[in-house]
Amino acid sequence: MATMDETPDALNEFIVRRTEEHWEKTKTPYLLSKISTDLIHYGVNYRNIIGEGTTLKQYVSGLRSVRIVAHPIQKAKVGLVPAGSGFVFEIEPTVTSGSGSEHPKRARMPSQKYIVMQFLNLLSKLPAEELKSVTIPVHVLAKLVEDE
């Protein structure tokens, strides 16, 4: 069994390296669900590194070298791609029976709260000088993240 340090730096390097390797081979996202099983080969449990109260998705959203992509319909299909890639999950056309009476399913839109959180995550990546010029009243953010 190979070994790996149980440190945030080692975990970050592992995730970025695996994402890039997977992307080079398949041009598809490295699924978050695969990280845990890949780390087992090193005897590492990522939960011991990222701590309580933080999800793997939240943790990897802070990595600059990779970007999170989520399938618009299949909620569990969340993966990582290199930050510079333009990859987005495509929505496969629905198969209908010959009667034509079935309506195709609508794509599930991400929640407003999720969109606001993604926006704030992007803002956190701005340089300090640019970030100083961003002003968003707190009452506006609070209103946007209220339950829909």
Closest of 106, 87, 11, 88 to residue 49, by C-alpha: 11
Structure tokens that stand for 34 in this block: 């695969």
Q: Which residues of the chain have pLDDT under 70?
A: 1, 92-107, 109, 147-148
What's the pTM? 0.61
Residue ranges and CATH numbers for the domains of the chain are 1-87 (3.30.420), 109-148 (no CATH)
Q: How far apart are CA 41 and CA 121, in angstroms?
A: 31
> How does pLDDT run across 7-46, given as a tens digit for each residue?
999 999 999 999 999 999 999 999 999 999 999 988 999 9
* β pairing state of 78-82 and 66-70: antiparallel
User: Under a CB-based contact definition with an 8 Å cutoff, are residues 59 and 9 in contact?
Assistant: no
In this structure, the chain runs to a length of 148
